[in-house]
Amino acid sequence: MQFTPEKYSIPDEPMKPFIDPDEILNYLSKATSTKEKVQEIIAKSLSKKRLNLEEVATLINTNEPELIEEIKNGARNLKKNIYGNRIVLFAPLYIGNKCSNNCTYCGFRSSNFAATRMTLDDKQIFEEIESLEDSGQKRLILVYGEHEQYSPEFIANSVRVAYSVKKGNGEIRRVNINAAPLEIEGFKIIKEAGIGTFQIFQETYFQEAYKTYHIRGRKADFNYRLTSLDRAQEAGIDDVGIGALFGLYDWRFDVMALVRHTNHLEACYNVGPHTISFPRIKDASMLNLGSKYFVNDDDFTKLIAILRLAVPYTGMILTAREPAHLRNEILQYGVSQIDGGTKIELGSYTKTDEKNQDLHKGQFRINDDRSLNEIIDELIEQKMLPSFCTSCYRMGRTGEHFMEFSIPGFIKRFCTPNAILTLAEYLCDYAPQQTADKGWALIEKELHALDDEKIKQTIRERLELIKHGKRDIYF
Ligand code: SAM
Ligand code: SF4
């Protein structure tokens, strides 16, 4: 992957802030969009070159409907040609919602006395995970409020409990984390427990706006949060996830800043973020927030397509905050991971007959409460390949940011075969007959499309092993 960085007003140094708002605003005010420029930028991205801030600003400033279509088509082609049709599935598990911060947009904020506070103990975590395994989940993200109780040791313990639960053929093979920023020592303790990605969202990168949402508590320190994933890197966590909460400030600024953050991590650690998240504000318990910066569906779709083109190698996560119809549409513009069967009320996975309902028990309202199987079934219908693959991090293939993207044949050699094998496990162990039939037909089609006969043969042999009860085979 070729990337020629621009010169920034604040040079990138590890653990030093890197956002200059004037610089970003300047790019946005100067960039003009013409048909030729937009097409050139899309072509650059399709040839696997990262976009610089000026180019991203040009795409952002594109308002002609036909050109926006070209951007979306570019993102669709990039996804199709480079990533194929795999969608990785995971589930969030909220461990505790006590919080000493008071983020005005969040149902867990300390001043919200309507919130029902709860922290799962080991037994409850165990039971929640048994339920998750019973539905076929293999990958989790554990989520925590920011509270003194949720120390690095506490978080590491919950990760270990998660990995220890084995029910039937069920097991959790990758645990990611979304929790408050830590010191380097804290990150090290959590790394020891064997985590995948550590996610921290900056919420908004525009400090003046950030201040108004985070008035007190640890999170009020903008730069401490901004540099948190540098500390994670220093602690040896080379798999980090960035994100912005869209609706807090002008989306154009935050898209630029996400790309700037990516450049910073590349410049300092030679590895960009493993994932980018782009949650939009949803209703929450006692939410009272101005809607000035809320992002409509059209802009949301556009910004996702722009991010796909700007950072072609990075995983992109679209959560159940968004409704099913929008997720189905947006998937094609470059999303690589979605959650399925999501429940965000504390302790709710064991209550198998209840859907999310009580806003005071969760962080916000989700808008897609389809079961994991419903999602898998619909993905298969759409000719997408559901995947529970956890191979790369277990094989030590982490860090190198352009791995999937730039090693020739990587997707065909590893990703597609592992998606097929993990889907096959799901079909054997958890799928109702109707989904299983469709799933096996899709697997046949995928095998047919592979051109390497040797890989095809090996996958076929492994599928036989899976049908005979062997589990957790990967490339
Ligand atoms: N407490 C930790 C922190 O703030 O870093 C963990 C993150 S929080 C449990 C997960 C993310 O949810 C936040 O970073 C924020 O982006 C998002 N979030 C908070 N309130 C939200 C809302 N009302 N709608 C959608 N997403 C929200
Ligand atoms: Fe607490 Fe995180 Fe919610 Fe802020 S976003 S109130 S830190 S849980």
Q: What does the pLDDT profile of the chain (475 residues) look like in tens digits?
A: 444 557 899 999 999 999 999 999 999 999 999 999 999 999 999 988 889 999 999 999 999 999 999 999 999 999 988 788 999 999 999 999 999 999 999 999 999 999 999 999 999 999 999 999 999 999 999 999 999 999 999 999 999 999 999 999 999 999 999 999 999 999 999 999 999 999 999 999 999 999 999 998 899 999 999 999 999 999 999 999 999 999 999 999 999 999 999 999 999 999 999 999 999 999 999 898 999 999 999 999 999 999 999 998 899 999 999 999 999 999 999 999 999 999 999 999 999 776 667 888 889 999 999 999 999 999 999 999 999 999 888 888 877 655 556 566 777 788 899 999 999 999 999 999 999 999 999 999 999 999 899 999 999 999 999 999 999 999 9
Give the other-Cβ count within 10 Å of 275's Cβ.
20
Ligand 2 midpoint to CA 146 (Å): 6
Q: Which pairing describes strands 166-167 and 170-171: parallel, antiparallel, or unpaired?
A: antiparallel
Give the other-Cβ count within 10 Å of 46's Cβ.
16
Q: Which pairing describes strands 139-144 and 86-96: parallel, antiparallel, or unpaired?
A: parallel
Number of the ligand 1 atom closest to the C-alpha atom of 244 = 16
Chain centroid to CA 333: 14
Please, what is the Cα angle at 177 between 15 and 372, to 5 degrees? 145
Which protein residue's CA is at the shortest distance from atom 6 of ligand 2? 109
* Ramachandran class of 247: left when φ > 0, alpha when ψ lies in -120 to 50, beta otherwise: left
The DSSP element (H or E) to which 269 belongs, if any, is: helix 251-269
In the three-class reduction of DSSP (H, G, I as helix; E, B as strand; rest coil), residue 240 is classed as strand
Tokens of 267: 């410049």
Which protein residue's CA is at the shortest distance from atom 2 of ligand 2? 145
Contacts within 8 Å (CB) and 24+ apart, 166-169? 166/133, 167/130, 167/133, 167/134, 168/133, 168/134, 168/429, 169/425, 169/429, 169/471
Give domain limits for the chain. Answer: 21-79, 84-405, 408-467
Which protein residue's CA is at the shortest distance from atom 5 of ligand 1? 180
Q: Which amino acid is at 356?
A: N
The pLDDT value recorded for residue 17 is 98
How does DSSP assign 62-73, residue by residue? ---HHHHHHHHH
Number of the ligand 1 atom closest to the C-alpha atom of 245 = 16
Q: What is the mean pLDDT of the chain?
A: 94
The pLDDT value recorded for residue 1 is 45
Which of 97, 98, 105, 106 has most ligand 1 atoms within 8 Å of its beta carbon, as the pocket-test mutant? 106
Task: Answer yes or no: is the C-beta of 146 below 6 A from any ligand 2 atom.
Answer: yes
Which protein residue's CA is at the shortest distance from atom 4 of ligand 2? 103
Chain centroid to CA 157: 23
Which of 154, 155, 201, 286 has most ligand 1 atoms within 8 Å of its beta carbon, as the pocket-test mutant? 201
Ligand 2 midpoint to CA 390 (Å): 28
> Is-contact 142 155, C-beta < 8 A?
yes
> Is-contact 57 25, C-beta < 8 A?
no
Query: CATH second-level architecture of 84-405?
Result: Alpha-Beta Barrel (3.20)
Ligand 1 midpoint to CA 106 (Å): 6
> Is-contact 82 315, C-beta < 8 A?
no
Number of the ligand 2 atom closest to the C-alpha atom of 219 = 7
Cα–Cα distances (Å) from 289 to 118, 286, 293, in that order, read 25, 10, 10
Please, what is the Cα angle at 314 between 311 and 319, to 5 degrees? 110
For residue range 370-414, list pLDDT tens digits in order. Answer: 999 999 999 999 999 999 999 888 888 877 655 556 566 777 788
Using alpha carbons, select from 217, 206, 208 the residue that is nearest to residue 181: 217
In the three-class reduction of DSSP (H, G, I as helix; E, B as strand; rest coil), residue 337 is classed as strand
Q: Which pairing describes strands 174-178 and 139-144: parallel, antiparallel, or unpaired?
A: parallel
The pLDDT value recorded for residue 358 is 84
Tokens of 73: 């088509």
Which of 146, 158, 363 has most ligand 1 atoms within 8 Å of its beta carbon, as the pocket-test mutant? 363
In the three-class reduction of DSSP (H, G, I as helix; E, B as strand; rest coil), residue 146 is classed as coil
The answer to whether the pTM exceeds 0.85 is: yes
Task: Answer yes or no: is the C-beta of 181 below 6 A from any ligand 2 atom.
Answer: no
Radius of gyration of the chain (CA): 21
Number of the ligand 1 atom closest to the C-alpha atom of 287 = 23
Task: Answer yes or no: is the C-beta of 108 below 6 A from any ligand 2 atom.
Answer: yes
Task: Answer yes or no: is the C-beta of 101 below 6 A from any ligand 2 atom.
Answer: yes
Task: Answer yes or no: is the C-beta of 225 below 6 A from any ligand 2 atom.
Answer: no
- Return d(Cα 420, Cα 432) in angstroms, integer: 18
Ligand 1 midpoint to CA 225 (Å): 13
Residue whose structure tokens are 């802009």: 299
Number of the ligand 1 atom closest to the C-alpha atom of 289 = 23
Which protein residue's CA is at the shortest distance from atom 8 of ligand 1? 145
For residue range 26-40, list pLDDT tens digits in order. Answer: 999 999 999 999 999
Ligand 2 midpoint to CA 373 (Å): 30
